[in-house]
Amino acid sequence: MTWSEMQPLLEQACRETLVMVGWSTLIAVLGGLPLGILLVLTDKGGLLQNTVVNKVVGQVVNVGRSMPFIILMVALMNFTRWVTGTTIGSEAAIVPLAIGGIPFFARLVETAVREVDHGLVEAVQAMGGNTWTIVRKVLVPEALPSLIASTTTTVIALIGYSAMAGTVGGGGLGDLAVRYGYQRFETGLMWITVAVLAVVISLIQFAGDHAARTLHRRGGRSGPAPKLRLLKAKEPAAADVSKAV
């Protein structure tokens, strides 16, 4: 197969992979972010401590994460057909990709939010901040660099899932590699597909790392954090006054 024959196939496969991963990442972030925060808030010692809710949500997330993606696709075929009207193609693949990505991202969010300094939370509580204020002004802004890194990890994982979706007619680069590289013995096209995936993943990882480092250098803070720094800066001055008296 010549390059002129490969090029349109690769372009179409890249577009399909971009659509699948883009939409599934958006849904995974929108679903996994509140789920991960809920796991932290309802845990022991959390702002909304509730053991029952935490155990139920945690178990659902664990089941979603433990299920191999290829089995998840098969298990969700009826649901996928109900949502999209088909079980074949990139649109149909978005459904299992998104559902598989939500629990994966939720656990990463939980880990990122747990790393936030609890002293900041207590300080905002002392200022009269409610749970929503703490989540919006402290937990999410402080964990933002880690959340960006978690999103990058999720995108790369979903690219791998999308390649598996190609084995059952999900479209994209995985489908191209299977249909031409494996079934038609076009090894050249298969290796080009592998190279394209490697380049795409490397670029995404670089962009995600750069964004996370940039936010980390800036402190990743907004809202009450500057006020807390001002309060800390005033404490030595108050001590000097007491010594002088």
pTM, whole model, 2 decimals?
0.83
Phi-psi region of 169 (alpha: psi -120 to 50; beta: other; left: phi over 0): left
Q: What is the mean pLDDT of residues 216-231?
A: 48
- C-beta atoms surrounding 111 within 10 Å: 15
CA dist list (Å): 19 to 109, 158, 199: 24, 12, 17
Q: Which two tokens stand for residue 232?
A: 């800390």
109 CA to centre of own chain: 8
Query: What pLDDT score was predicted for residue 219?
Result: 60
98 close to 24: Cβ distance less than 8 angstroms: yes
Q: Tens digits of per-residue pLDDT, 45-84?
A: 888 889 999 999 999 999 988 888 888 888 888 998 998 8
